[in-house]
Amino acid sequence: MDRKMALYGLPLWVSLAALSNAQAAPGAGAGSGQLPPGMNPNIIYEDLPLVPKFAKAHGVVMGIAFGIIFPLGAILLRVIRSQYGVYAHISAQLIGYALMIAGLATGIRVGKILDRLHNNGHTILGTVIVVFLLIQPFIGFWHHYKFRKTQSSGWWTHVHIWVGRFFLLLGIINGGTGLKLADNTAGGIIAYAVVAGVFGVAYIAIAALRQGKVILKDKETTPEMQQT
């Protein structure tokens, strides 16, 4: 291997060497249940070769979800000034949720193999983000239901807006911590930062412009898609 590759804080070449040593050690063969001294018994050494594939899949789908799809869904809601904007928003977010759940599954798999499931900031914060975002559609549904009845924004509208904004931002940041934890290449980190930065800045700019228009009005009379 030309360079040292670290996956979630565990250098791959060290992991594979440890696996080889564990298998070769006296009394530590397959099925013996014994490991040489100093080796973490919680790491699933026989599954270490799966880590690069699952870790890459986790990074790719989560990066697309939080760096592109979720911000794009929020942007579409604001730039398409009709009911189709709501449909575009929902469609994009559903795609984002599918990617997020796939990323969660692959992340859990990597975490279990490497004993890194909930003992570091990236996985803990990631779990919190996913939990809150899984609640977000129900908040959005209730906001939509109340808006259709009253034709005005309410408390649930602002909850839906700010939960989405806050955890979208946290998700983008947590993607960066994941790249660092995985000891990703500088090129990979730069690519993620550029793509997520472009969509993130575009979303913030559009949201700020919209918020400014709301503040300048004495009474909000715009359609629902401009409220969220």
The domain that holds 203 is classified in CATH as 1.20.120.1770
| Residue-level pLDDT at 66 | 95
Domain that holds residue 101: 49-210
Low-confidence ranges of the chain (pLDDT < 70): 1-38, 152, 210-228
pLDDT for the residue numbered 225: 43
* 92 located within any domain: yes
Q: Convert the pLDDT of each residue in 148-200 to its tens digit.
A: 777 767 787 888 888 999 999 999 999 999 998 888 888 888 999 999 999 98
Number of folded domains in the chain? 1
Q: Would you state the pLDDT for residue 185? A: 81
Task: Please give the torsion angle defined by the CA atoms of residues 7, 11, 14 and 19, in that order, rounded to the nearest 10 degrees.
Answer: -10
Residue 140: in which H helix or E strand, if any?
helix 121-150
Q: What is the pTM of this model?
A: 0.75
Whole-number pLDDT of residue 6: 46
Residue 135, CA atoms < 13 Å, CB-side half-sphere? 11
Residue 99: what pLDDT? 97
CB 22 within 8 A of CB 36: yes
pLDDT for 180 equals: 86
